[in-house]
């Protein structure tokens, strides 16, 4: 096989790592791979967003499967461009990708097929948004409807904060085109859960649930980021919950999209809130989440590639299933000082050699590059340090050991990833 990975972040590094284990004799290619990916794949000097260029390259190089990591190429129609040429690609069409690229579309779809979610209104004009928020009052959640790299959602405890977030998007273009339409929704309380499903458009194979941490600071403080860490499995997931999520969330959404002539084939992500009133959907994504992929994928014992190939070729996964390792995985994300705002790049990055050869630790590169042979920072989120263990506590200990050992100026990370889950385990065992 000849497999192309589109994307070059931590999620794509994890996908490449897993697919090479599934198919050790395959040839792998990656778009402008980061230094962690470079030893695992031949470089393709095309941007992940160069949809037509990548389709032409894949056609000319006999690529048998393309796997797309980021959301932007999917929203721009890379799936459509490849399928027009008869090239198998794992990922949805541009129209199906609207479930992520337009939060307004996703919320309207959920309302239509009766998938439980927060009550909401959408706005494109500031006066109407101002009037609604002032009347409704905080707490509220204000979101840019379009793609904002995980940074366009604001949990606003007060009416004033909600007004400020909406005003900045609608009158000051704080998120550009992504914020030209906003969603204002009720604040939901509970525990968040991330669930991935591989789907052929009708059937859904659910992967191991995980929990991620969006805020930059300890104790879930500060602004939202693309994700500062994650762990799997999640102790609060009760028996039967995943069957319930498949039947009440994924299957109705898939039926609704097929009925609207926009069938979804690929990886569908559901961000859930486990509220006292039941499970409700926060959002959908059209691809693997990052940093959750970095803990779910290493726990997968069965073949991810087999499911991807079947979906990409238009087959059915009605009988598909996954096997999972015992134990746990925990990801501590190392970020650049200032993220998710402005930050400096080009800072020397030092990774102790012993970390690269441990069976209980995985390092997935995200924002790194080579500068005259030296490894330097090149993004807001720099590295995922994934600890593996027989228990969540072991995984957390190993992840933190690795996070502390990696060195670069301005390194920022959270030491509380998984701490709540450990308390949950203690309560369950009491």
Query: What percentage of residues in the chain have a pLDDT greater than 90?
Result: 94
Question: Are 60 and 140 in a shared domain?
Answer: no
More confident residue, 2 or 150: 2
Average pLDDT of the chain to the nearest whole number: 96
Among the candidates 279, 312, 345, a domain finishes at 312
Q: Binning pLDDT at 50, 70 and 90, where does residue 407 land? A: very high
Question: Are 209 and 152 in a shared domain?
Answer: no
Region 164-174 average pLDDT: 94
Residue 219 lies in a domain: yes
Q: Which domain, by its residues, includes 407?
A: 328-429
Among the candidates 180, 203, 224, a domain finishes at 180
**Measured between alpha carbons, how far is 373 from 10 in angstroms, rounded to an integer?**
21
Residue 144: the pLDDT is 94
Residue 69: the pLDDT is 98
Flag whether pLDDT at 75 surpasses 90.
Answer: yes
- Say how far residue 167 (Cα) sits from the centre of its chain: 27
Question: Are 141 and 207 in a shared domain?
Answer: no
Flag whether pLDDT at 277 surpasses 80.
Answer: yes
Q: What is the pLDDT of residues 220-262, one digit of tens each?
A: 999 889 999 999 999 999 999 999 999 999 999 999 999 999 9
Flag whether pLDDT at 420 surpasses 90.
Answer: no
Q: How many domains are contained in the chain? A: 4
Encoded tokens for 406: 């990696």
Residue 167 lies in a domain: yes
Residue 130, class by beta-carbon neighbours within 10 Å (0-12 exposed, 13-18 middle, 19+ buried)?
A: middle
pTM (predicted TM-score): 0.95
**Measured between alpha carbons, how far is 379 from 351 in angstroms, rounded to an integer?**
17
Residue 429: the pLDDT is 67
Question: Are 306 and 342 in a shared domain?
Answer: no
Here the CATH number for the domain that contains residue 71 is: 3.40.50.20
Question: Are 196 and 175 in a shared domain?
Answer: no
Residue 288 lies in a domain: yes
Question: Are 172 and 223 in a shared domain?
Answer: no
Among the candidates 51, 76, 93, a domain finishes at 93
**Measured between alpha carbons, how far is 208 from 421 in angstroms, rounded to an integer?**
16
Region 139-143 average pLDDT: 95
Residue 255 lies in a domain: yes
Residue 119 lies in a domain: no
Here the CATH number for the domain that contains residue 254 is: 3.30.470.20
| Number of helices (H), then strands (E), in the chain | 14, 23
Flag whether pLDDT at 430 surpasses 60.
Answer: no
Here the CATH number for the domain that contains residue 175 is: 3.30.1490.20
Question: Are 288 and 349 in a shared domain?
Answer: no
Question: Are 203 and 297 in a shared domain?
Answer: yes
Residue 106 lies in a domain: no
Residue 104 lies in a domain: no
Question: Are 258 and 360 in a shared domain?
Answer: no
Flag whether pLDDT at 46 surpasses 90.
Answer: yes
Question: Are 129 and 161 in a shared domain?
Answer: yes
Flag whether pLDDT at 428 surpasses 80.
Answer: no
Residue 108 lies in a domain: no
Question: Are 195 and 172 in a shared domain?
Answer: no
Q: Show contacts of 84-89: CB within 8 Å, 24+ apart.
A: 84/55, 85/55, 85/58, 85/59, 87/55, 87/58, 87/59, 87/63, 88/64, 88/309, 88/312, 88/313, 89/65, 89/312
Q: What is the pLDDT of residues 298-324, one digit of tens each?
A: 999 999 999 999 999 999 999 999 999
Question: Are 157 and 206 in a shared domain?
Answer: no
């Amino acid at each position: 096989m000849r497999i192309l990975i589109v994307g070059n972040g931590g999620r794509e590094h994890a996908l490449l790592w897993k697919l090479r284990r599934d198919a050790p004799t395959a040839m792998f290619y990656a778009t402008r791979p980061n230094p962690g990916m470079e030893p695992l794949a031949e470089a393709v000097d095309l941007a992940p967003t160069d949809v037509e260029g990548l389709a032409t390259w894949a056609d000319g190089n006999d690529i048998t499967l393309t796997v797309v990591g980021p959301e932007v190429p999917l929203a721009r129609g890379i799936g459509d461009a490849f399928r027009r040429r008869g090239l198998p690609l794992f990922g949805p069409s541009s129209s199906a990708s609207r479930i992520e690229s337009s939060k307004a579309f996703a919320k309207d779809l959920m309302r239509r097929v009766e998938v439980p979610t927060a009550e909401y209104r959408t706005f494109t004009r500031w006066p109407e948004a101002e009037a609604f928020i002032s009347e409704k009052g905080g707490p509220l959640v204000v979101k840019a409807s379009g793609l904002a790299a995980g940074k366009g959602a604001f949990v606003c405890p007060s009416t004033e904060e909600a007004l400020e977030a909406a005003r900045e998007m609608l009158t000051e273009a704080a998120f550009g085109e992504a914020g030209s339409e906003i969603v204002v929704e009720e604040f939901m309380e509970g525990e968040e859960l991330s669930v991935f499903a591989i789907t052929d458009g009708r059937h859904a194979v659910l992967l191991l649930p995980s929990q991620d941490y969006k805020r930059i600071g300890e104790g879930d403080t500060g602004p939202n980021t693309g994700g500062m860490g994650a762990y799997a499995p999640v102790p609060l997931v009760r028996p039967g919950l995943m069957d319930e999520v498949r039947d009440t969330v994924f299957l109705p959404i898939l039926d609704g999209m097929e009925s609207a002539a926009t069938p979804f084939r690929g990886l569908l992500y559901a961000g859930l809130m486990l509220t006292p009133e039941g499970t409700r959907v926060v959002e959908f994504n059209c691809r693997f989440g990052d940093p959750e992929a970095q803990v779910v994928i290493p726990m997968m014992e069965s073949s991810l590639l087999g499911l991807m190939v079947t979906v990409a070729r238009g087959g059915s996964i009605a009988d598909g299933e996954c096997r999972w390792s015992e134990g746990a995985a925990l990801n501590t994300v190392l970020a650049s000082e200032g993220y998710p705002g402005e930050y400096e790049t080009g800072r020397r990055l030092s990774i102790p050699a012993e970390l690269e050869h441990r069976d209980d630790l995985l390092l997935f590169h995200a924002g790194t590059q080579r500068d005259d042979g030296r490894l330097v920072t090149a993004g807001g989120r720099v590295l995922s340090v994934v600890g593996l263990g027989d228990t969540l506590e072991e995984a957390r200990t190993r992840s933190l050991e690795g996070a502390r050992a990696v060195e670069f100026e301005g390194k920022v990370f959270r030491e509380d990833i998984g701490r709540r889950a450990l308390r949950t385990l203690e309560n369950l065992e009491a």
